[in-house]
Amino acid sequence: MDDRRLKSHVLVVEDEKAIAAFVQAALEREGLAVRVARSGEAALTQIEAERPDLILLDLMLPGLDGFEVCRRVRAQKPYIPIIMLTARAEDTDKIVGLELGADDYITKPFNVRELAARVRALLRLLRQASGGASTHFFRAGDLTVDRDRHVTAIGGRPIDLTPKEFDLLATLVAERGRVFGREMLLERVWGYDYMGESRTVDVHIQRLRQKIEADPANPRYLLTVRGLGYKFAAEEDL
Ligand code: CA
């Protein structure tokens, strides 16, 4: 996801130490960077802080269980693939039937090579999707962003954006709900070599708000996350 990161990052959410260590070792042998969360609550915190590329999520966890973690991640960060780990075959019916949004599931006891193969397959899909046509058109509320035609519209009425304003908006809306720091936005939109300062981002956000928000002082779409940066409002924020 993040161009600077050479390795894909996987978060393993598993309360059983032995299984977590075993899975971590197996995925590290695959060249992946692996972090472990031991509870659902810890997982949500780590997902926010570490922004994994993929989540391996055990169903049976103390406190917030895997179903609840999956539901929350899907609402906030729909772009992160989730593989559910289940102990019982009947749970897989629930995962599929409830359409929780897990991308795949694997039943314990599992073959670690099969697990690694599933992880690799999903990460490959993710890379294809991020360069594919499906990510070129976004709709949020009455706002649409069409990357191919380079057109932004509110309620079907096109609005004039400069190229940088457009890129900034497209970057945020492509991963709506994700918080971007100013430095990351500078890199993504202005490029690694850009010598500007993070204030540049603030100025462009202000201008975008003037153009797309009904009330720029109380933005609905382009939200400030105090101390962290900016995000495009997640679906449930609207
Ligand atoms: Ca467990």
Q: Is the pLDDT of residue 97 over 90?
A: no
Ligand 1 centroid to residue 58 C-alpha, Å: 6
What does the pLDDT read at residue 57? Answer: 94
What is the topology classification, in CATH, of domain 137-237? Arc Repressor Mutant, subunit A (1.10.10)
Between 85 and 136, name the one with better pLDDT: 85
Q: Is the model's pTM score more than 0.85?
A: no
Q: By the 8 A CB rule, do 170 and 148 touch?
A: no
Ligand 1 centroid to residue 231 C-alpha, Å: 33
Strand partners, 157: 154
The CA distance from 178 to 79, in Å, is 10
Q: By the 8 A CB rule, do 33 and 27 touch?
A: no
Q: What is the pLDDT of residues 7-38, one digit of tens each?
A: 788 999 999 999 999 999 999 998 899 999 99
Ligand 1 centroid to residue 20 C-alpha, Å: 10
Ligand 1 centroid to residue 89 C-alpha, Å: 15
What does the pLDDT read at residue 183? Answer: 86
Strand partners, 225: 229
How do the domains of the chain map onto residue ranges?
Answer: 3-130, 137-237
Task: Pull the structure tokens for residue 146.
Answer: 């069409």
What is the CATH number assigned to the segment(s) 3-130?
Answer: 3.40.50.2300
Ligand 1 centroid to residue 186 C-alpha, Å: 40
Ligand 1 centroid to residue 17 C-alpha, Å: 9
What does the pLDDT read at residue 3? Answer: 35
Ligand 1 centroid to residue 29 C-alpha, Å: 23
Q: By the 8 A CB rule, do 24 and 12 touch?
A: yes
Q: Which amino acid is at 220?
A: R
Q: What is the pLDDT of residues 132-187, one digit of tens each?
A: 434 567 777 788 888 777 889 888 888 988 888 998 999 998 888 889 999 889 88
Q: By the 8 A CB rule, do 106 and 83 touch?
A: yes
Task: Report the percentage of the chain scoring pLDDT > 90.
Answer: 37
